[in-house]
């Protein structure tokens, strides 16, 4: 991609978005797989087995739905 070509830059930014529209579930799983290693390095992630989570179903089983007030630092 030529960074001096604004159209090529825009196309490069929009291509993943268009792909996510074609298959939203796959796009969300890709994002989740990128986030889980970061979560695994946090106390909250370790408490919820982020290092062993490998799909959406295990994420849902290990990470309860919470509000920010329930997890914000004191």
**pLDDT tens readout for residues 20-40:** 999 999 999 999 999 999 999
C-alpha to C-alpha distance for 14 and 21, rounded to whole angstroms: 11
Q: 48 and 66 in contact (C-beta within 8 Å)?
A: no
Confidence of residue 65 (pLDDT cuts 50, 70, 90): very high
Mean pLDDT on 45-62: 95
Q: 27 and 17 in contact (C-beta within 8 Å)?
A: no
pLDDT at 71: 86
C-alpha to C-alpha distance for 45 and 41, rounded to whole angstroms: 7
């Amino acid at each position: 991609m030529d960074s001096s070509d604004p159209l090529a830059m825009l196309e490069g930014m929009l291509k993943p978005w268009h792909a996510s529209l074609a298959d939203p579930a796959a796009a969300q799983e890709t994002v989740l797989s990128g986030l889980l290693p970061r979560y695994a390095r946090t106390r909250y992630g370790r408490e919820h087995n982020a290092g062993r989570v490998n799909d959406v179903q295990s994420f849902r089983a290990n990470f309860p739905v919470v509000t920010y007030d329930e997890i914000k630092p004191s």
